[in-house]
Structure 1
């Protein structure tokens, strides 16, 4: 089935609770939900335990519990999620499946619910990480790579990582479609207040504080840095879990809370640099691109995906080397031309990734498969 403007109606599911933090959730909502979604879809997430959260228009919640990663519990979860999706969806109303992640439960569940529809699998990064750690997730990833009609990787680094995990994957099925950031942010970023010279460099960490994001690495690295102020915008439970390490490292930080994106965009204007100390990989690092769109320079660990998206538009450093990091922070603090140059380069880089282009490319790919 197609929509009135001849777009194939998408069925897609992200098997995370609707109130989950993270870039994959924001991208999912940006693409498929709202009063006028960029991609018309039946879009599903999980009903969180407790009170039903406020959700954007077009996002449907499934009351499926028992999410697991391995073993019989994982198989039971897939079966329950597949049954819920089959009950909610009318096959003739759907044109194409968008499989969010090549692993986890929603991908096999959606293929069970609608086994005859064309399938586009989207690499997000966490699927690759979990497939490297869990046997059943690796099995699902390899099966998805085999059964998908097309695989979308936002960076070449993610495609290469997928091939290492699933070497039998047909490379001709892999399409490079970068993720994007909202067009309105590129067109009308928040106005930055007048910057006054400061003796301290105001650093911002924004995102999850899971191991692969490198929060602990950042804190250890900052012990040798001088003249910095650190703000953290992260889920509160993850911030509290990191607090003992902060105390041992003697790091004082300002906790901003887990900010909604408009609040985060405003916070960008109150800082001098965003720090991205990711340890393993980043699908693209959308928060870094949003920071650049708002004129905030980025200091980052050049891991796969992130280095491809940012390149020379941001300052690459080594957060595992306290001396190197202290040197680069001192350069940012004392060189009068470096921060303005990074602001300009960052804005130009972010402009390369409008979300409308992501949506258009995914829609075109769906039409080719229909």
Structure 2
């Protein structure tokens, strides 16, 4: 197949993220950053699921929705769901106008559906993290993951920790097909972060938790340990339904928290500039921790559980702690509260660390890889 002529643009991609438009999460933000907008970094026919109900979020330019229901993970229903996705994609995509497939996640329904809708195109699989976690716990998803690994011409993985976890799940993977390409932050954030107001001296720390409140994000450990630590204020930016579901936990532990809502990207960046620390108590693998890098780009230091992925991306640019141990957490927070120079040093190292990950570099590497295959 000969690529279409698009000077400097790169091969035309077909890609599908198997989530409803408007879903929270770093994978969604990365997907929209790369493939949508008036001048997308990676030229693409990009698809997500239509959200349930009649109210649809405002869509970015270049994103199309599939009206397919029945999303599930296992059993006969999963096969029917994949078949419905394949039919929908085949109706909307002209194969002659596509050069390469970008398979978002090694598992879930979107990847096998796109493979079956466009079986003759080169395939680049992008590993996000949730696919590995779900493959560990769902036999059908492990089967999809291994099938995708065999079918992909190249496997793009953002961290070494993710490579290690992938090889445990699919030990026969040809390592020569693995491309280590880190995810990135919008260049505009790196060059023009929101201003940080001068807070002056204070006796308390303003902590911010930002992201989904699923079990692996460790919010339970955070609240139980933080309830025993004086001199801190906790703000939470999370999906509303998830926050309300965990409200009883906050009440039981006696943890006082200010709910900010589920913030739009620009609102979250401004919130970063109004706090002293981002807390990341994740209990398991993080694909890369884009929210931590975005915080650093906004001058917000990061206090984190050193799980695989985060310890690689943040290392000494943040402060590693143990959110499951209230004594350790209190010690680290007291050290930060009593040492304003340490917070300033972390802010500067965070800026430098975030600057290592411009999204334009990620896009360029993906287009170069696609150009080699198309």
TM over 0.5: yes
Aligned to 2:318: 314
Which residue in the other structure is 1:37 paired with? 40
Cα deviation, residue 148, structure 1? 0.3
Q: What corresponds to 2:339 in structure 1?
A: 335
2:207 is matched with 203
How far 1:96 moved relative to its partner? 0.2
Q: Give the deviation of 1:49 after TM superposition.
A: 1.1
Secondary structure of the equivalent of 2:155? strand
**Cα deviation digits, residues 215-265 of structure 1 (max 9, x gap):** 111101112211000000000111011111100110000000000010000
1:266-281 equivalence runs, <5 A: 266-281=270-285
Equivalent in the alignment of 2:90: 86
Partner of 1:117: 121
Alignment of 1:1-370 (within 5 A): 1-5=3-7, 7-50=10-53, 51-370=55-374
Contact 1:3 1:9 in 2 (8 A): no
Shift of 1:19: 1.2
Specify the SS of the correspondent of 1:279: coil
Measure, in 1, the Cα distance between the counterparts of 2:225 and 2:107: 33
C-alpha distance in 2 between matches for 1:132 and 1:99: 19
Find the residue that maps to 1:132 and give its secondary structure.
Answer: helix
8 Å Cα contact 1:300-1:315 kept in structure 2: yes
Tell me by how many angstroms 1:2 deviates: 2.9
SS at match of 1:337: helix
Gaps of 5+ in 2: none
> TM-score scaled by structure 2?
0.98
Q: Is the 8 A contact 1:332 1:338 kept in 2?
A: yes
| Number of equivalenced pairs | 370
1:309 Cα deviation from its structure 2 partner: 0.6
Return the alpha-carbon distance in structure 1 between the equivalents of residues 20 and 169 of structure 2: 27
